[in-house]
Copies of this chain bind each other. A is one copy, B any other.
Amino acid sequence: MKVETRKEEIIKTSTILFQKKGYSAVTMRDIAKVMGIKAASLYNHINSKQEILSNIIISLAEAFTEGMTTIMSSNDSSIDKLSSIVKLHVDITSSNTSGMASLNNDWMHLEEDLDYYLKLRLDYEDNIRQIIEQGISSNQLQDSNAEVMLFSMLSTLRSLYIWIPSKEDLDPFELAENLNKVLLTGIIK
Protein backbone atom coordinates (compact mmCIF):
# COMPACT_ATOMS: atom_id res chain seq x y z
CA MET A 1 0.00 0.00 0.00
CA LYS A 2 1.41 3.34 -1.11
CA VAL A 3 1.76 5.87 1.66
CA GLU A 4 0.91 9.30 0.31
CA THR A 5 3.08 12.15 1.51
CA ARG A 6 1.41 15.41 2.46
CA LYS A 7 2.89 17.05 -0.63
CA GLU A 8 1.35 14.40 -2.86
CA GLU A 9 -1.98 14.94 -1.15
CA ILE A 10 -1.79 18.65 -1.88
CA ILE A 11 -0.97 18.02 -5.54
CA LYS A 12 -3.78 15.49 -5.88
CA THR A 13 -6.31 17.87 -4.32
CA SER A 14 -5.09 20.78 -6.44
CA THR A 15 -5.33 18.71 -9.61
CA ILE A 16 -9.03 18.11 -9.09
CA LEU A 17 -9.70 21.77 -8.30
CA PHE A 18 -7.61 22.97 -11.27
CA GLN A 19 -9.68 20.76 -13.57
CA LYS A 20 -12.94 22.32 -12.38
CA LYS A 21 -12.02 26.01 -12.49
CA GLY A 22 -8.56 26.32 -13.98
CA TYR A 23 -5.29 27.24 -12.24
CA SER A 24 -5.91 30.99 -12.03
CA ALA A 25 -9.35 30.70 -10.46
CA VAL A 26 -8.26 28.31 -7.70
CA THR A 27 -6.87 29.91 -4.54
CA MET A 28 -4.56 28.47 -1.92
CA ARG A 29 -7.47 28.85 0.49
CA ASP A 30 -9.62 26.66 -1.79
CA ILE A 31 -7.00 23.90 -1.73
CA ALA A 32 -6.52 24.17 2.02
CA LYS A 33 -10.24 24.05 2.70
CA VAL A 34 -10.67 20.74 0.85
CA MET A 35 -7.75 19.32 2.83
CA GLY A 36 -9.22 20.54 6.10
CA ILE A 37 -6.30 22.81 7.02
CA LYS A 38 -5.44 26.51 6.72
CA ALA A 39 -3.80 28.01 3.65
CA ALA A 40 -0.65 28.97 5.55
CA SER A 41 -0.09 25.32 6.46
CA LEU A 42 0.28 24.37 2.81
CA TYR A 43 3.57 26.23 2.68
CA ASN A 44 5.13 23.77 5.11
CA HIS A 45 5.05 21.24 2.25
CA ILE A 46 5.25 23.26 -0.96
CA ASN A 47 7.03 26.47 -1.86
CA SER A 48 4.41 28.11 -4.06
CA LYS A 49 1.21 27.64 -6.01
CA GLN A 50 3.34 27.62 -9.15
CA GLU A 51 5.26 24.60 -7.87
CA ILE A 52 2.01 22.63 -7.70
CA LEU A 53 1.13 23.44 -11.32
CA SER A 54 4.61 22.65 -12.54
CA ASN A 55 4.57 19.32 -10.74
CA ILE A 56 1.26 18.31 -12.34
CA ILE A 57 2.16 19.32 -15.90
CA ILE A 58 5.83 18.35 -16.15
CA SER A 59 5.37 14.85 -14.74
CA LEU A 60 2.64 14.19 -17.33
CA ALA A 61 4.63 15.71 -20.19
CA GLU A 62 7.61 13.56 -19.28
CA ALA A 63 5.45 10.45 -19.18
CA PHE A 64 4.35 11.14 -22.76
CA THR A 65 7.94 11.78 -23.84
CA GLU A 66 9.09 8.54 -22.25
CA GLY A 67 6.32 6.56 -23.94
CA MET A 68 7.10 8.15 -27.28
CA THR A 69 10.80 7.26 -26.96
CA THR A 70 9.88 3.60 -26.57
CA ILE A 71 7.54 3.72 -29.57
CA MET A 72 10.07 5.47 -31.81
CA SER A 73 12.79 2.96 -31.00
CA SER A 74 10.66 0.01 -32.10
CA ASN A 75 10.63 -1.57 -35.54
CA ASP A 76 6.85 -1.40 -35.84
CA SER A 77 5.09 -0.19 -38.97
CA SER A 78 3.75 3.36 -39.08
CA ILE A 79 0.24 2.11 -38.44
CA ASP A 80 1.31 0.05 -35.44
CA LYS A 81 3.20 3.03 -34.06
CA LEU A 82 0.08 5.19 -34.34
CA SER A 83 -1.89 2.49 -32.55
CA SER A 84 0.69 2.50 -29.77
CA ILE A 85 0.32 6.26 -29.46
CA VAL A 86 -3.43 5.92 -29.06
CA LYS A 87 -2.86 3.36 -26.32
CA LEU A 88 -0.29 5.62 -24.64
CA HIS A 89 -2.81 8.46 -24.45
CA VAL A 90 -5.59 6.23 -23.16
CA ASP A 91 -3.33 4.77 -20.47
CA ILE A 92 -1.88 8.05 -19.20
CA THR A 93 -5.23 9.85 -19.34
CA SER A 94 -6.96 7.01 -17.49
CA SER A 95 -4.41 7.17 -14.70
CA ASN A 96 -4.56 10.96 -14.25
CA THR A 97 -7.67 12.38 -15.88
CA SER A 98 -7.74 15.62 -13.93
CA GLY A 99 -4.07 16.35 -14.52
CA MET A 100 -4.64 16.21 -18.25
CA ALA A 101 -6.94 19.20 -17.92
CA SER A 102 -4.06 21.30 -16.56
CA LEU A 103 -1.71 19.99 -19.22
CA ASN A 104 -4.13 21.10 -21.92
CA ASN A 105 -5.49 24.34 -20.51
CA ASP A 106 -3.05 25.78 -17.98
CA TRP A 107 0.39 25.18 -19.49
CA MET A 108 0.63 28.88 -20.39
CA HIS A 109 0.69 29.72 -16.68
CA LEU A 110 3.95 27.85 -16.20
CA GLU A 111 6.77 30.22 -15.33
CA GLU A 112 10.20 28.66 -14.83
CA ASP A 113 9.34 25.43 -16.65
CA LEU A 114 7.44 26.94 -19.60
CA ASP A 115 10.26 26.62 -22.13
CA TYR A 116 11.03 23.07 -21.06
CA TYR A 117 7.36 22.10 -21.45
CA LEU A 118 7.14 23.72 -24.89
CA LYS A 119 10.18 21.80 -26.05
CA LEU A 120 8.74 18.48 -24.89
CA ARG A 121 5.45 19.22 -26.65
CA LEU A 122 7.09 20.30 -29.88
CA ASP A 123 9.31 17.22 -29.99
CA TYR A 124 6.32 15.01 -29.31
CA GLU A 125 4.35 16.50 -32.19
CA ASP A 126 7.34 16.24 -34.50
CA ASN A 127 7.61 12.53 -33.76
CA ILE A 128 3.97 11.92 -34.70
CA ARG A 129 4.39 14.03 -37.83
CA GLN A 130 7.38 11.93 -38.79
CA ILE A 131 5.44 8.69 -38.33
CA ILE A 132 2.56 9.97 -40.46
CA GLU A 133 4.84 11.16 -43.25
CA GLN A 134 6.64 7.84 -43.27
CA GLY A 135 3.26 6.10 -43.45
CA ILE A 136 2.36 8.16 -46.52
CA SER A 137 5.73 7.54 -48.18
CA SER A 138 5.49 3.79 -47.62
CA ASN A 139 1.96 3.78 -49.04
CA GLN A 140 0.32 2.61 -45.82
CA LEU A 141 -1.57 5.86 -45.24
CA GLN A 142 -3.74 7.86 -47.61
CA ASP A 143 -1.97 10.61 -49.50
CA SER A 144 -3.98 13.41 -47.87
CA ASN A 145 -2.80 16.43 -45.96
CA ALA A 146 -0.44 15.15 -43.24
CA GLU A 147 -1.03 18.21 -41.04
CA VAL A 148 -4.78 17.62 -41.02
CA MET A 149 -4.23 13.99 -40.05
CA LEU A 150 -1.87 15.00 -37.25
CA PHE A 151 -4.23 17.68 -36.02
CA SER A 152 -7.30 15.47 -36.05
CA MET A 153 -5.61 12.62 -34.23
CA LEU A 154 -3.95 14.80 -31.59
CA SER A 155 -7.12 16.81 -30.97
CA THR A 156 -9.06 13.66 -30.21
CA LEU A 157 -6.34 12.20 -28.00
CA ARG A 158 -5.81 15.45 -26.10
CA SER A 159 -9.53 15.74 -25.42
CA LEU A 160 -9.77 12.27 -23.89
CA TYR A 161 -9.70 13.70 -20.37
CA ILE A 162 -13.05 15.41 -20.95
CA TRP A 163 -14.64 12.21 -21.94
CA ILE A 164 -13.07 9.34 -20.02
CA PRO A 165 -14.48 9.98 -16.52
CA SER A 166 -18.10 9.84 -17.66
CA LYS A 167 -17.64 6.63 -19.60
CA GLU A 168 -16.35 4.32 -16.91
CA ASP A 169 -18.29 1.45 -18.44
CA LEU A 170 -15.73 1.34 -21.25
CA ASP A 171 -12.46 -0.19 -20.07
CA PRO A 172 -9.17 1.30 -21.33
CA PHE A 173 -8.38 -1.62 -23.60
CA GLU A 174 -11.74 -1.53 -25.34
CA LEU A 175 -11.61 2.25 -25.61
CA ALA A 176 -8.21 2.13 -27.30
CA GLU A 177 -9.55 -0.47 -29.73
CA ASN A 178 -12.57 1.64 -30.68
CA LEU A 179 -10.52 4.79 -30.97
CA ASN A 180 -8.01 3.08 -33.21
CA LYS A 181 -10.76 1.93 -35.51
CA VAL A 182 -12.41 5.34 -35.76
CA LEU A 183 -9.18 7.33 -36.09
CA LEU A 184 -7.50 5.02 -38.58
CA THR A 185 -10.34 3.70 -40.75
CA GLY A 186 -12.90 6.49 -40.30
CA ILE A 187 -16.61 6.08 -39.79
CA ILE A 188 -18.00 5.59 -43.28
CA LYS A 189 -18.87 2.10 -44.41
Contact = CB atoms under 8 A, between A and B. Distances in A.
A142 B25 CA distance: 43
Interface in A163-189: 163, 167, 170, 175, 178-179, 181-189
Given A151-B156, A155-B156, A155-B159, A187 B183 contact: yes
Contacts of A155: 155-156, 158-159, 162-163
Contacts of A149: 182, 187
Contacts of A175: 148
17 contacts: A21-B108, A22-B24, A22-B106, A24-B24, A105-B105, A142-B185, A142-B187, A142-B188, A144-B178, A145-B178, A148-B175, A149-B182, A151-B163, A152-B156, A182-B186, A183-B187, A184-B187
Which 4 A-B residue pairs are closest in the complex by CB-CB distance? A186-B186, A155-B159, A24-B24, A24-B25
Given A142-B188, A184-B187, 7 more contacts: A22-B109, A135-B187, A141-B188, A144-B187, A145-B170, A151-B159, A152-B182
Interface of A: 20-22, 24-25, 79, 105-106, 108-109, 132, 135, 139-142, 144-145, 147-149, 151-153, 155-156, 158-159, 162-163, 167, 170, 175, 178-179, 181-189
